[in-house]
Structure 1
């Protein structure tokens, strides 16, 4: 009797998908906790409980707490999503993205910067990553004078919105339609990205 076998190269696929899903859950849990607690106060046990896995599994995938949080303290993927729009509509997109992150994921990954320790290596890494991966990356897309300042002001505006929604829990912002907020707040962000001055059309 012939035994059915899985074609070569196909069997590992589900395991790889499961591994990626598990890694994503761990990173999401660590980001959630880092958006609410100081790095030093977060344990692997807390991350594991939030992710629904065991602490040894975190060690298997990331090696140790420091390696896990090195990944968590990167803003690259978050910046990809935040800045994923043409420049002329980016302000509204950034506002909409922050609201969607809060409502769909329960946290805005950018808010990790608000919890960066004032002193110590971890705070320095988080701030350096934020500058390089978010504000300086945005500034590189801008034209005209004071691009760095304008990028920082635009990002400050959306981080402030995230604070109002996720930390201060402003009831009016939380209850408002996301598109309505984007329509009101987006132009304030856009004014830094594409300022209209004398002689501009």
Structure 2
């Protein structure tokens, strides 16, 4: 019984983790709504229902908090062994998954919005997309081809994400992910097949 309690306690987020997540949620909300310059530690702390000194304790500075709020793992898997004809659908489906789970205006939308107006966010987005796309595709395409394709693929998929999740343009916003993947796959296939 004690062992089960110990395991359950390990699985439950600690108070510290909950506080950190509350700060990040509040920061993402403020950065997305007000931008980096106009967002204040005091306002973020008020939204998270904590003292402003706690924000500094957890993150050190507004810049470090901003970086943490922008830290996004796209969840792109290693696509080694994926047949070339299935590669576009797999890439689209995995790329859109975190956006589908990010319906509360979280880090994915924040990253897109902030990258449009903040050079620090834009650089973060460029680096993250290049690293994660290249890493995901390296085993399927080889390192040089993955490196060459990652920017064009990221541009296409960011366009889809912006249209679907920020602009909410119909019918793209209303399509099931699988149907959207089938529509977008031919253009990705062209990039993947280009020499």
TM-score tier after normalising by the smaller chain length: 0.5 to 0.7
**1:67: how far off?**
1.6
Q: Does 1:185 align with 2:184?
A: yes
**1:14: how far off?**
7.9
Partner residue in 2 for 1:84: 77
Residues 153, 191 of structure 2: 8 Å contact kept: yes
| Deviation by residue 1:114-146 (Cα, 9 ceiling, x = unmatched) | 5336676x2575256335533554564432865
TM-score by length of 2: 0.68
Any gaps of 5 or more consecutive residues in structure 1? 1-5
Q: Does 1:165 align with 2:169?
A: no
| Deviation by residue 1:36-73 (Cα, 9 ceiling, x = unmatched) | 553223223444455x4324432232122122122234
Partner residue in 2 for 1:176: 175
Task: Name the SS of the counterpart of 2:171 in structure 1.
Answer: helix
Q: Aligned pair in 2 of structure 1 residues 64, 34: CA closer, same or farther (>3 Å)?
A: same
Q: Aligned pair in 2 of structure 1 residues 38, 61: CA closer, same or farther (>3 Å)?
A: same
**1:109: how far off?**
1.9
Q: Distance in 1 between matches of 2:10 and 2:143?
A: 48
Q: Distance in 1 between matches of 2:17 and 2:113?
A: 28
Q: Distance in 2 between matches of 1:164 and 1:101?
A: 15
Q: Distance in 1 between matches of 2:20 and 2:101?
A: 19
Q: Does 1:53 align with 2:52?
A: no
The size of the alignment, in residue pairs, is 184
Partner residue in 1 for 2:127: 129
TM-score by length of 1: 0.66
Partner residue in 1 for 2:99: 102
Task: Name the SS of the counterpart of 1:175 in structure 2.
Answer: coil
**1:154: how far off?**
0.6
Q: Distance in 1 between matches of 2:113 and 2:188?
A: 19
| Greater gyration radius | 1
Task: Name the SS of the counterpart of 1:173 in structure 2.
Answer: coil
